[in-house]
Structures are given as structure tokens and as C-alpha cells.
Amino acid sequence: MRRYTCHDQRAHPALCRLAKDATSPPPGKPVTVNGRSGVFEPAAQAGADTEILAFETASGQWVWVQAPMSLGWDSARLVQFSSGVTVLPTAQQGVG
């Protein structure tokens, strides 16, 4: 399986970010990413043209992965992609 870091944004159109102040996920469909709690929020629910998957890391941080609808990914594909995301020790939390 390919492993991704947030630095892969240039090579892949999905965006990963470490949520700054999130202590809980957005509303949505519960999913599991690498055995951890996560939530899939479809674009219609998010009010945009982007699907969102948020999952909790082992250290309790929330990672948000955003994928444009143009990719044609469903929740299963976004979970598959997200399971390959690695948060590096030097990662800084996003704002916004």
C-alpha cells in the first residue's frame, strides 16, 4: 500500500490537514480508518463540492482529508486513501 504524507498534495489532488482545535469530528457517517474512529461527510452535507473524511490518530489528533467530487471517490475509496496518510512529527496544525 502506498503511504501518503501531507506533502503529497502536489502529486495527488486530495488535501490532508491536521485540525488545530478539533476535539470531535464533523457530523457524518461513522467510518473506521486503521482501527480508529472517523467520519465521512459527503459534499451535499458539507455544502461544497468536496468530500471530507476526518479521523483520529493514535495520539488523539484529528486529520481531515478533503477530496474534490471530480475524483469520483466514494466513502470506501476515501477511507482507503486516508489509511495511507501519515502525520509526520514536524506537521503543523492547520487553521481554518
- pLDDT tens by residue, the chain, 96 residues: 344 444 444 445 667 666 666 566 778 899 999 899 899 988 888 777 888 898 988 878 888 888 888 888 888 999 998 888 877 777 666 654
> Rounded to whole angstroms, how far apart are CA atoms 75 and 89?
27
User: How far is residue 18's CA from residue 60's CA, in Å, rounded to a whole number?
Assistant: 11
Task: Please state the pTM of the whole predicted model.
Answer: 0.74
Query: What are phi and psi for residue 68, nearest 5 degrees?
Result: -65, 145
Instruction: Name the β-bridge partners of 86.
Output: 5
**Amino acid at residue number 88:** L
Site of grid cell 475524483: 71
What's residue 1's pLDDT? Answer: 36
Q: How far apart are CA 26 and CA 39, in angstroms?
A: 7
β-pair type (15-18, 36-41): unpaired
